Amino acid sequence: MRRHQTRTAYTFLLIPLVFFLIVRFLPTLSALRLSLFDWNILKEQQPFVGTENYQRLLTDEKFAQALKNTALYTVIGVPAQIALGLVVALMLNKIRALRGLFRALYFAPYVTPIVAAAWVWQWLFSPQFGPVNTFLIWLHIPPQNFLTSPEQALATTAALVVWQNLGFQIVLFLAGLSAIPRSYYEAAEIDGAGSSQAFWKITWPLLNPTIVFSVVTGTIAYLQLFTQVVNLNFTDQGGPLGSTTTVALYIYQMAFGRYQMGYASAITVVLFVIILAITLFQLRFLTRRYDV
């Protein structure tokens, strides 16, 4: 009976595994192969060039700018959405009345179509007609360029992504908080521990798996950032002077704008290696085991 149950389990696990291999690994291997060719769909010949596409990356200033922007998105967005998500989750965890309503309101941006949210955000921060600049004028503050300013466009785009992902972070932290036994806090209260001590000695350590998951998934999402950047400034994809261009957007521009599929595949492989290395690093050094 046990062997039969084991075979059944492996059979059901095999189906999604095969699907995952077809959808994920085969395209990755195909991109790796394609990166070794000067693959241009407008040319009849697709010559083998070896590592020339990778060597070209070392001197490509636009790729360096896209890589820098992507790093800035990650450094700004991941800590911001995790900190805000944890703070809001802690507050929502304390209320009883209208808890479901507040959770739904905070989660609504996450299920809103990204394209629609980006277009609304573009209207909000419009230099001429945007409500944000109208509000600033009421406060006697000069209107800002936001999406048309090379200095402000990246931060404005990052704010959109943080706002849209905040609901997901809140749900994760609420689930993590609900898994912590109340008896721990009651014992701490009996021992005379304050709220801050209870947070740092109980809540924070026991939320480590949730925090690690949030950091890893958030980092991967920001390193692959594409849709918000494209739709937030549709007439000038990548923002003024390339200030909002991400690596994913640059791959799209090379592949479907200039039809340089081989070079775009090389960038894809490099991005995959970066994501894999960062993910393994985070899992290794962020995961902790605490005794409460």
Domain annotation covers residue 248: yes
On the question of pLDDT at 292 being above 70, the answer is no
30 falls within a domain: no
Mean pLDDT of 18-29: 84
For the chain, the domain total comes to 1
The answer to whether 250 and 260 have CB atoms below 8 angstroms apart is: no
**Has residue 44 been placed in a domain?**
no
Tell me, what's the pLDDT at 291? Answer: 52
Could you tell me which of 267, 272, 255, 273 has the C-alpha nearest to residue 55? 267
Contact 165, 84 (CB under 8 A): no
Q: Which amino acid is at 209?
A: P
Query: Would you state the structure tokens that stand for residue 19, as one six-digit string?
Result: 């699907």
Question: 45 lies in a domain?
Answer: no
- Judge whether 268 lies within some domain: yes
Where in the sequence is the domain holding 126, given as residue range(s)?
Answer: 60-286
Round to whole Å and give the CA distance between 169 and 165.
7
Per-residue pLDDT, 100:
83
Predicted pLDDT of residue 290 = 54
The residue-averaged pLDDT of 171-193 equals: 89
- Considering only residues 162 and 11, tell me which one the structure prediction assigns the higher pLDDT: 162
Sign of CA dihedral 126, 253, 116, 271: negative
- In whole angstroms, what is the distance from residue 109 CA to residue 120 CA? 12
Q: What is the pLDDT of residue 174?
A: 93
Whether 113 is covered by a domain: the verdict is yes
**136: CATH:** 1.10.3720.10
Residue 228 lies in a domain: yes
pLDDT: is 1 or 263 the higher one?
A: 263
Answer whether residue 246 shows pLDDT above 60.
yes
pLDDT in tens, 51-93: 999 999 999 999 999 999 999 999 999 999 999 999 999 999 8
How far apart CA 87 and CA 96 sit, in angstroms, is 17
Q: What is the pLDDT of residues 191-217, one digit of tens each?
A: 888 888 989 989 999 999 999 999 999
What's the pLDDT score for residue 244? Answer: 93
**Domain for residue 266, yes or no?**
yes
Q: What is the pLDDT of residue 99?
A: 80
DSSP character string of 162-191? HHHHHHHHHHHHHHHHHTS-HHHHHHHHHT
Residues with Cβ within 8 Å of residue 111, at least 6 apart in sequence: 167
